[in-house]
Amino acid sequence: MRFFTSDEAGLIKGIDIDAKVSLLEAQSRAAKRARADAKAKTVAKASKAGAAATAETAQSTKLEGIDMWTVSGTVSRTQGIQQMSNIKWETDTDAFVVGRNNGDVEVLSKDTGKSLYKFSEANFADKFSIKHNGRFITERRYVGLGGDRDGSHFITCTNMGEVRYQSFTGDGATLMKVNADTYRMRVHQKRPSIFAVGGREQELTVWDADTVESGSQSEFTKPRSAPLFKSKNVSNDSLDLRMPVWITDMQFMDDNASTPLVAVSTGHRQIRIYDAKAQQRPVLDWEVSKHPIYHILASHVRPEMFFADNMGNVQQLDTRMGRVVGGYKGIAGAVKAMAISEDGSMIAAAGLDRFLRVYEAGGMRRALHRAYIKQRVSQVVWDWDRRDLSTEEIEQKEAEDIWQNMDVLSQERSEKRPSKRKVAAA
């Protein structure tokens, strides 16, 4: 299995994990190598030859089953990656589009790490101080990023509500501004011009960048057209007090772009499902956590959803019953990103503790693999193009290799060798 991670230091890394080497087995082998390395260091103090042996042993103490390399970037805080999404560049090249701390939007080749395109957002890094919803906003950051599968357009959104939908050729940019203090923007998986936004005191809103009427192509202005869908706040509580709005993440649940089914998480511990065909208020509303929920991930295979709060807890929700069925242990910091395997049997989580962890989705929810990334991870992409063989496929391939490597009895040898019946008759 192969992953790509982006981090706050500006690096994109590739990680290959051997599915056949489990976490417990890798830890056991690493402990044995560590003991051998400590013994070699003790011997090294007595002779120079021992020192050379120590250097050779130290190179072999990497965790087995894990191969990691830097795809692109150098360590730089200004080049730190806030958002990353995979796209097809010119329809035939696998690439990533990233949004950096300094406002740059860059397209990087997945294979070589070469920069294919770069756009710089003007005045992105300027310092300011704006009070909104009782909080001071002092810097811009990207809260959403996406691109067309054919590499024709990209779309970005900042926490100030500035949305840019622009072709990579620079023509036909659509600039629009939604409310400030935007917390998250998500792009539709089938039509990247469709996107949803939400934030503090900002209801879920779904827009189509191809049809939105913007007042200017050089400034971020309020759109003059109506959105495809805008939610309404839930009913007042038992004391008839208005419920606060704080949308932290969202996921498109189906392929329908005109009347989508959207799941959202809130900073008030809820997960809600909105059906644009039914009503503006949520059709399902569950309070599932004791802490603010920051990230959600919907499975494309089974009716389940994974969510992570600000305390490093990752849990699994059954969307048929609205019940939490279990959690994933071992995470020491807040989770920044999650990804799911193509068959939906595993999930990966990474964040502030600098570890990429792979878990069994469902069942015992065991920790299967773990890799140390060295930097705080901001985004994770599971490379579905590199598919791991199942246990049955591995056994079948091994059996085929055995049969192909067996010696074949030639026809001449079989004719020369007399049968047992002829020998007995003689």
Q: For residue 405, tell me if it sits in a domain.
A: no
Question: Do 179 and 54 sit in the same domain of this protein?
Answer: no
Same domain for 300 and 317, yes or no, is yes
CA distances to 196, 202, 241, 294 from 235, rounded to whole Å, are 22, 16, 9, 23
Same domain, 246 and 354: yes
CATH number of the domain to which 81 belongs:
2.130.10.10
pLDDT given at position 365: 93
pLDDT single digits (tens) 272-329: 999 999 999 999 999 999 999 999 999 999 999 999 998 999 999 999 999 999 999 9
> What does the pLDDT look like over 84-140, one tens digit per residue?
999 988 878 899 999 999 999 999 999 999 999 999 998 999 999 999 988 999 999
d(CA 348, CA 339): 5
Is pLDDT above 80 for 60?
A: no
Residues 81 and 146 in one domain: yes
- What is the band of 53 on the pLDDT scale with cuts at 50, 70, 90? very low
On whether both 159 and 80 belong to a single domain, the answer is yes
Do 40 and 79 share a structural domain? no
Question: Confidence band (pLDDT; 50, 70, 90) for 49?
Answer: very low
pLDDT in tens, 314-357: 999 999 999 999 999 999 989 999 999 999 999 999 999 999 99
Give CA separation, 245 vs 222, 236, 237, 376, in Å.
21, 12, 13, 29
In a domain, 330, yes or no: yes
147 and 58 in a single domain? The answer is no
Per the domain annotation, does 169 fall within a domain? yes
Mean pLDDT of the chain: 86
| Structural domain contains residue 358 | yes
| Strands 202-208 vs 323-328: parallel, antiparallel or unpaired | unpaired
Domain extent at residue 150: 2-17+68-398
pLDDT bracket for residue 367 (50, 70, 90): very high
Q: Is 118 in the same domain as 31?
A: no
Q: Are 146 and 238 contained in the same domain?
A: yes
Q: Are residues 162 and 79 in the same domain?
A: yes
Number of domains in the chain: 2
Q: Is residue 409 part of a domain?
A: no
In a domain? residue 425: no
Residue for token pair 């692109």: 72
Segments of 174-278 assigned E as strands: 174-177, 182-187, 194-199, 202-208, 229-230, 247-252, 261-266, 270-275
Region of poorest pLDDT, from 175-184, 211-220, 392-401: 392-401
Tokens of 256: 């329908």
In this prediction, residue 44 has a pLDDT band, given cuts at 50, 70 and 90, of confident
Which distant-in-sequence residues (6+ apart) come within 8 Å of 210 by Cβ? 193
pLDDT at 266 over 50: yes
Query: In this structure, is residue 424 part of a structural domain?
Result: no
When mean pLDDT is compared across 110-119, 232-241, 257-266, 390-399, the lowest value belongs to 390-399
User: In the prediction, which pLDDT does 28 show?
Assistant: 66
Instruction: Write down the residue that tokens 């809130």 correspond to.
Output: 266
Q: Could you tell me if 42 and 112 lie in one domain?
A: no
Q: Are residues 60 and 147 in the same domain?
A: no
